[in-house]
Amino acid sequence: MTPGGRSDLPSFVTFKTGAELLVEQGIATSITPDGVRYIARQDNQEWPFGEGKPHPYEKVGNARVMATKPFLDYFRSHPPKGRGPDRAPRSTQ
């Protein structure tokens, strides 16, 4: 069983289902699909997916999918460090 209590992990995740899985597994307290996309787009040598990387993106319909195990392994080693949910209005100055 995985740390989040789920033993039936999918073989592949999209950015949306990957974000949901990160929260479910307790790897992130909150992250959106756009947050995962942002991390993937950074000039990050350790991001494991894409051309010339250890794991290719796969296509399912119109969606790009990633193998679940390397996706979770990456985020376990590199937990997201966002500013978190908006708690108060920002200054307009």
Residue 78's pLDDT is what? 93
Token output for 12: 């592949």
| pLDDT the model gives residue 36 | 95
Position 1 scores a pLDDT of: 42
Reported as a single tens digit per residue, the pLDDT across 12-24 is 999 999 999 999 9
pTM over 0.85: no
With a cut of 50, which residues of the chain have pLDDT below it? 1
Position 89 scores a pLDDT of: 74
C-alpha distances out from residue 22 to 9, 84, 88, 93, Å:
12, 14, 25, 35
How high is the pLDDT of residue 25?
96
Supply 93's token pair.
């100055």
